Structure 1
Amino acid sequence: MLNSPFSSVPIMGIPFAQTTRVQFVNHLQNRIDAHQNTFVITANPEIVMYAGRNPAYHTTLLSADYISADGIGIVKAAQALDTPLPERITGYDIFTDLLRWAETNQKKVYFLGAKPAVITALAAKVAHDFPHIQVVGAQDGYYQDETAITTAIANHQPDLIFVATGFPKQEQFIAEHRHLADGLWMGVGGSFDVFVGAVKRAPKFWQDHHLEWFYRLVTDPRRLKRQLIIPQFMWKIHQLKHKRD
């Protein structure tokens, strides 16, 4: 992130871009147009905590060009540390913003990840909603051999490569293969599922009140173990603030 036009806010050793969603997406669009190789990570408290326990993954995060605050927990942590971030910038919002832009500018896009039924639905929905996007590949996340994927990316040189295999796998894949194409590489977690309607995103009220995490917990109680990371994360932030003060 040495050449980033945005200042950064460090949270538990992870530098978050201090920018708004509009500024950030506009900057990414300019980089794509200039064929600049770009690695974007959208990190939430779960990712930060995982990086704290896994040095190799922490190194992978630091190799990204930009890390955005995906999760109100990151924004709250920045406020608590007196280094506020302008707003939360979710991976799903960046994903959909860039799809709309790619449609207008007839960009080449490669999709990797999710279940076979989801990636099939994604390809169909993109073809219907964004007919001017050139989909140069759509591969589910249950592959055994990367060769066909990496060969397709190298041959087609997509402008945008979205990887939805979940952390840490998606970031590790990007870090290893980003040299194959001078486009934007971005891990988008469960965005494909939400985009095709396989998973419902929280209604706007819950989003506006920063309660998406609670909505996901109510609608899918299996997420309880993952959601317990949030209070652990905030306790770590409290300790950091207390030690600093």
Structure 2
Amino acid sequence: MAFPTVQIMDVPFIKATNRAFLEQLQQDITQKNRRFIVTANPEIVLYAKDHPDYLTTIKAADYITPDGIGIIKASTALKTPLPERVTGYDTMIALLKKADQQHLKVYLVGAKPEVMARVVTKIQTTYPGIDLCGYHDGYFKDDTKILADIKAQQPQLVFAGLGYPKQELWIKENYHLTNGIWMGVGGSFDVLSGLTKRAPKFWQDLHLEWFYRLLKEPTRFKRMLAIPKFMLLIRQEKSKN
């Protein structure tokens, strides 16, 4: 199934609900399809705008999902509305649940060593049906052994929490090694580990998850400036049409 896409600053986002997307991923798993998933927020779109090589990389993905309320608001402003957010964290959790039920092989790469250690414990206790066939923190200079291990293990799911642009560049270069799903998950390992708290549902429902994170991590202020900059560019794009 090929989803229709919505172009936002030259980035093609899939027009799909969470449910439809997960159904498609289940089909991909069953059919052993090789897939590359990018979960893109306004920061990623802005970075891609200024870095053509990165834009080319993410446009090579099979699915680019709208991870961030800013993307949803932009799609509405451009009169090509996307149905809902499809976040990296929620998609990762849904896939871990599937992996638990279906005894799939999962490989993890990314985060700090202490974060990865907690993630491994969390997965082993919460999802005992998963075959956690390998994991490595994100602080490596040479990935030769990691890639050899992935090729040997042939996991159905590879989650890379290396942060953008590194994780997308790394996946694009290496996802040919398996007939499975590779997804960049950014800081999702930090949340899964319990070291970073996700916004409560109340904040999420109000589309203020970004503000909650800012209150908890004031050092993110500079990064948060990407949101108004992004929306300004969207308004400018809208005025041209």
TM range (shorter): over 0.9
User: Aligned match of 1:61 in 58, 63, 66?
Assistant: 58
Provide Cα deviations, 1:78-131, integer angstroms capped at 9, x if missing partner.
Answer: 000000000011100000000001100000000000000111111111111111
Alignment coverage as a number of residue pairs: 241
Q: Secondary structure at the match of 2:167?
A: helix
After TM superposition, give the deviation of residue 144 of structure 1 in Å.
1.6
Q: Does 1:7 align with 2:4?
A: yes
TM-score by length of 1: 0.97
Q: Does 1:191 align with 2:188?
A: yes
Match of 1:200 in 2: 197
Q: Secondary structure at the match of 2:123?
A: helix
After TM superposition, give the deviation of residue 39 of structure 1 in Å.
0.3
Q: Secondary structure at the match of 2:170?
A: helix
User: Aligned match of 2:142 in 141, 145, 158?
Assistant: 145
Let me know the Cα RMSD of the aligned residues: 0.6
After TM superposition, give the deviation of residue 75 of structure 1 in Å.
0.1
Match of 1:242 in 2: 239
Distance of 1:153 and 1:29 partners within structure 2:
21
Q: Does 1:177 align with 2:188?
A: no
Q: Does 1:29 align with 2:17?
A: no
User: Aligned match of 1:93 in 70, 82, 90?
Assistant: 90
Give the counterpart letter for 1:97 in structure 2.
Answer: A
Pairing of 1:35-54 with structure 2 (within 5 A): 35-54=32-51
Q: Secondary structure at the match of 1:161?
A: strand
After TM superposition, give the deviation of residue 25 of structure 1 in Å.
1.0
TM-score by length of 2: 0.99
After TM superposition, give the deviation of residue 33 of structure 1 in Å.
1.4
Match of 2:120 in 1: 123
Q: Secondary structure at the match of 1:75?
A: helix
Q: Does 1:219 align with 2:216?
A: yes
Match of 1:158 in 2: 155
Q: Secondary structure at the match of 1:186?
A: strand
Pairing of 1:72-91 with structure 2 (within 5 A): 72-91=69-88
Q: Does 1:112 align with 2:109?
A: yes
After TM superposition, give the deviation of residue 188 of structure 1 in Å.
0.2
Give the counterpart letter for 1:14 in structure 2.
Answer: V
Q: Secondary structure at the match of 1:202?
A: coil
After TM superposition, give the deviation of residue 5 of structure 1 in Å.
1.8
Q: Which runs of 4+ in 1 moved over 2 A?
A: none
Q: Does 1:132 align with 2:132?
A: no
Distance of 1:196 and 1:29 partners within structure 2:
25
Gaps of 5+ in 2: none
Identity %: 52
Distance of 1:177 and 1:25 partners within structure 2:
23
Q: Does 1:71 align with 2:68?
A: yes
Distance of 1:34 and 1:115 partners within structure 2:
33
